[in-house]
Structure 1
């Protein structure tokens, strides 16, 4: 059974989503972040970065959420995995893009809005995120033109990885009305039974 370290509220959420899509049994290993358990000597042997998520699959250890989703889909021969080199290139393209470009401003804003006390918030960080996000969202909106999914006209690793980042914007109540392609695609992805189950897990974790 796979052991997963990290709350569904963290970047581990996309890993839970993938495991639910695949119907895999897993064991959630809780880490108390306030008590710095993710920086403990024991956990650093699993992920030397002291971050979540990480998984232990038998003797195999892997960290970085988007590497985990890709690995699981491939290992279990899922249609969500790439079927050829071209699809793999596109899946990695969208996954890396969402992590490097889209997720950073979204997380910066989320931290300020939900974790920093109002009197200590930095309005410049929020403003910067609000200013840059539309440019990135236009890239995704255009990429979804005439398509139901990002790669291969089927639900793939790319959709889980990117939709999980869009989920941060939903949490921030970001207005996506100017992005009809993203809105339709996101609703399709998040309405999947596995996506709904992870959302319920996230809600119960609050």
Structure 2
């Protein structure tokens, strides 16, 4: 059985849990509580020297990056949720790379705009100027996504794919932040709601990053 090292509030770990739920693939979850520093212990560091979740273990294979894990699950077990044709597969990978390149720092925006005002807990160090620059960069990426989704339901067309497990999680993470502008991003907002309505979202624990 697959083993997944995860942490419920981690958006990157949620991407993989979401994919596994949509695929109906059983796995053994191992919770690594980042707030208690469990990612710093030697056993976990041996699996991932970067000391981050998620980590997927499949026999002798250890994968440490959410985009790589999603692509692997697609190739190994994706079925209808992952394209087989090279061109279509490249398009799916393109969106996973888009996610990694453009939404990698969206978590800092979520901390600044959502979590800190609600809990007082400060996140990764990021001054106001840096957070504003992140917001500008993320907003630009959302505009690209808005144009793409204006003519389709999901990233690869009208059918859900594992690529949506990456981008869909990050779009949901941005709910309640300064870039959450439904009037300017109606297609992205509708896409976000479609993601949240999927059975796999609840099964994967999507509520951990949702704004009440």
In 1, Cα distance between equivalents of 2:194 and 2:35: 35
Distance 2:132 2:82 in 1: 37
The equivalent residue for 1:73 is 74
Q: Compute the displacement of 1:42 (Å).
A: 1.1
Which residue is 1:170 aligned to?
A: 175
Look up the match of 1:54.
Answer: 55
Q: What is the distance in 2 between the residues matched to 1:73 and 1:171?
A: 31
Listed one character per residue, the Cα deviations across residues 85-112 of structure 1 (whole Å, up to 9, x for unaligned) are 11111111111111111332x2221233
Question: Is 2:161 aligned against 1:190?
Answer: no
Q: Give secondary structure in 2 for the equivalent of 1:170.
A: coil
Pairwise CA distance, 1:203: 6.8
Contact kept, 8 Å, 1:14 with 1:160, in 2: the verdict is yes
Across the aligned residues of Structure 1 and Structure 2, the Cα RMSD in angstroms comes to: 2.4
The answer to whether the Cα contact below 8 Å between 2:6 and 2:32 also exists between their aligned partners in 1 is: yes
Is contact 1:4-1:27 (8 Å) kept? yes
TM-score (normalised: structure 1): 0.87
1:56 shift after superposition: 1.2
TM-score when scaled to structure 2? 0.84
Shift, 1:172, TM fit? 3.3
Does 2:98 align with 1:97? yes
| Range 120-129 or range 143-152, more displaced | 120-129
Match of 2:156 in 1: 151
Tell me, in whole angstroms, the C-alpha distance in 2 between the residues paired with 1:203 and 1:186.
Answer: 13
List runs of 5+ in structure 2 lacking aligned partners. none
Name stretches of at least 5 consecutive residues in structure 1 with no aligned partner: none
